[in-house]
Chain A
Amino acid sequence: MTKATPIINITNLTKKYGEFFANQSINITISKGHCHAFIGQNGSGKSTLIGMLSGRIKPTEGNIFIDQNELHYGDPHSSREAGIATIFQELTIIPNMTALDNVFLGFKEGKSILVNRKKRLERFYELSKLLNTRISPNSYAIDLSVADQQILEIMRCLNLDSKILILDEPTSSLAQNEREALLEALMELKKRGITILYVSHHLDEIMKICDSFTVLKNGVVTEHSSIEGWTKQKIVHAMLGEEIDSDFKEILMQEYPHQIPSEEIILEVENLESFHFLKNISFTLKRGEILGLGGLVGSGRSAIANTLYGLGENCRGTLKIQGQCIKIPSTPRQAIDNGIVLAPEDRKKTGLHLGFEVHENINLIDLKRIGSYGFLSTKKSKKLAQQYIQEFKLTRPINSIVKNLSGGNQQKVLLSKVTSVHPKVLIVDEPTRGIDVGVKLDVLRKLKELAMQGMSIIIISSELEEVVAVSNRVLVISKGEIVSELKGKDIRVNKIVEATFLEGSHQT
């Protein structure tokens, strides 16, 4: 291996968003030719750190040195000049162009306006050799596997003489054998002295290819070390650190000590399959119970919610509502008629009609109730909406255009819309995303109150503290399967994270 000379030197790097520290006093050194992993939960500050390296984000304080030269901050172009290339999860490969054209996309050779195909081919084979791959330059990108497309993207970066390659979750959309191929290509690159910064949730991969790692938690480095002598378990524990119960949990425990599910089973899911992704999903939900779904983004949490709401594909399995077998709904209408509603993840795109007024939005879920003989009664619409939203304490008039409301108020509109049909099962996907802290608590309080009124609730949130604070029981989902069930005192952020990172590999 090459001698460990530092190539990246980060000192005292801090990024503040308002009063919030996304990254705080980061001090790390990364050696040349190393593969360095960034590990942490969702929201731990990995993306911010990478963003600052790739020049998309300007740091508030601190310095980044690449080969002793300070980086020009907040300028993606100069990051590129400094030899840093970033490959994001969403590929920028153009499907209808050949592999060759994709690699040389946006590349200018000298002053000639003509393409020197021969020269490009030579370079293409050079790069292929570097990565030890055999992609035909004439094949169309659309016919290549995702892994090969990713390799094309890496080739594109290498063509620009990048010294440092940042990969953000590169294997998340790859099949197992594709993963291996990509990892091998990365190993090859390491041998050639290229430094790789690797962001991944897959500890197996990290153990395999990385030489060193940094663990981030709440924007702070909690561990920075060579990988020698570390096990997956040890890394997970480094990620977790000491757990502090969130304020939310305490507040909700005090305010709603009597929110206890009854014994009656409302929803029973058995061996549910969908999207060719979810497998063996079986669980029950009791009356008045709040069930949290934990797991990473893309683990299948939202897929479960969508399938129950009639948005699944290739569904199989049985569904029982209050003991009665029902067909897996194939449209949202069927789900609603069966007493299941969903407040979708993306409020603005799929949850609400932004150009419509508050009362119209609330009543769209059941237009019939605002009609008389098929005609629309705006008066009725406003009156009913006023009733439904009263409990949610909307701070704006009922005829405001939803587009002009704050995120919190929009969420209140969405929740009063879906709860207005008195569902048996309410599924809320990311109910607190993009909402002020104060309003967040209001939303969680509301969920507790609804549960006390006998509604059964499934909550999905990337903010694990909130899942922990509000849930009576938590299922941890990973790679489309339920990997763990947490009850009572086990409902803790640490336990969810542990299950997420470790259970998946136990099974295989």
Chain B
Amino acid sequence: MMNKLSEEQNLTSSRNRSLNFVNIKNFGFRYGVIFAFVVLIIISSIVYNGFLNPTNILNMLSQLAIIGIMAAGMTYVMITGGLDMSIGGLYAATAVVAASLVDSTSIFVAVLVGLSVGLIAGLLNGVLITYLKVPPFVATLGTGSIFTGFALVYSKAQPFFVKDPAYKFFGSHYIGPIPVSVIILAVIFITLGTILSYTLYGKALYAVGGNNEASRLAGLKTNRLIISTYIICGLCASMSGIILSSRLAQGQANIGESIVLDVIAAVVIGGTSLSGGQGAIWRTFIGGSILIMISNVFDSLSISTYWQSIFKGAIIIVAVMIDFYGRSKIQK
């Protein structure tokens, strides 16, 4: 009896010890991305003198704007355990539609219609995925192709040029020293970040992603919650489309091809889980920044974009591996 008791004590104490170890590890998995971010900044500033120059920073942020805004929307979708592959097509479709309307109507109408495209597209994705039970990857791959096709048909594969110089406001203007697109980025990140972390709605999204069935049984309207994330994601993609068409003063249908991967990369590198339930907007900010910083430094060292692509792919794989490895460790 005594033996057994001391055995149990041993067991619990060793369990405690391993618990601490796991805690440190968990911490590493959870906040490792910040560490990586800081290390990258230090390395970058060493290899590239002008890296921390304010102009370069603002330049990087304005590059981040388009991918970052889309990635913020994607974070919502991925936290509920979904995925939106249609944002590339949607981004192009919005750019085309908005650009085509500026000169014939007004900037206000163009932006409004552009955002409506995102809203409707997101609703469509959401309904397909929830009520019609099409798996997210397939559903959005399909709708993405539809949106791209729509952009091509609508524009007859020709760019729409915008003559009204005021439309350049979103993409190329500054307020003080800060680009308008960066301000839009900041507003969207702060708003979406706050909603996700501090509201009941945000909590419900995490719950749905963490365990859909248990959430449904707890009375949450899981389908509506999921649809709402696709709508937010659609709106974000459209906002990016508007910024791009504004920056280029034209709308073109063939712009969205590779952007989806960059967006997903930004979210995943930040540490939002592919399987839902975990993640945050600040993570996506860091993930997106890491991507932009890498290409900024590579450009400054005049390394070809082909190499950048290889490097980016490798980072994504490592980030996902860390995610899965970390999760399986934590579960033990």
Contact = CB atoms under 8 A, between A and B. Distances in A.
Interface residues of A, number: 29
A364 B213 contact: no
A323 interface: no
Contacts of B218: 332, 364-365, 417
A481 to B, nearest CB: 26
Interface string B269-291: 00000000110000000000000
Contacts of A375: 198-200
Contacts of B216: 331-332
A403 B219 CA distance: 21
Contacts of B217: 309, 311, 332, 342, 344, 350-351
Contacts of B199: 371, 374-376
B215 A355 contact: no
A22 interface: no
Interface string A105-140: 000000000000000000000000000000000000
A364 B207 contact: yes
Interface string A346-377: 00011111111000100011111011001110
A353 B214 CA distance: 7
B202 interface: yes
Q: Is the interface of B mostly helix, strand, loop or mixed?
A: helix
A227 to B, nearest CB: 44
Q: Which of B202, B206, B219 has the most CB of A within 10 A?
A: B219
Contacts of A309: 217
A182 B213 CA distance: 36
Given A367-B204, A375-B198, A376-B200, A356 B210 contact: yes
B211 interface: yes
B163 interface: no
Contacts of B198: 375-376
B210 A355 contact: yes
Given A367-B204, A371-B200, A376-B200, A353 B215 contact: yes
Interface residues of B, number: 23
Given A353-B210, A355-B277, A356-B207, A364 B215 contact: yes
A416 to B, nearest CB: 13
A333 interface: yes
Interface in B196-241: 198-204, 206-207, 210-211, 213-221
A147 interface: no
B213 A333 contact: no
A455 interface: no
9 contacts: A350-B214, A352-B214, A353-B214, A355-B278, A356-B206, A356-B207, A364-B207, A365-B218, A371-B200
A112 to B, nearest CB: 39
A497 interface: no
The 7 A-B pairs at the shortest CB distance, nearest first, are namely A333-B219, A371-B200, A364-B218, A367-B200, A336-B219, A365-B218, A350-B213
B200 A374 contact: yes
A98 B213 CA distance: 34
Q: Which of A342, A366, A375 has the most CB of B within 10 A?
A: A375
A349 B204 contact: no
A484 B201 CA distance: 46
A374 B331 CA distance: 32
B231 to A, nearest CB: 18
Contacts of B210: 353, 355-356
Contacts of A366: 219
A370 B221 CA distance: 17
A415 to B, nearest CB: 13
A388 to B, nearest CB: 14
Contacts of A367: 200, 203-204, 220
Given A376-B203, A403-B331, 15 more contacts: A331-B221, A332-B216, A333-B220, A336-B219, A349-B211, A350-B211, A351-B214, A360-B207, A364-B215, A365-B219, A375-B199, A376-B199, A376-B200, A376-B202, A417-B218
Interface string B246-268: 00000000000000000000000
B140 to A, nearest CB: 25
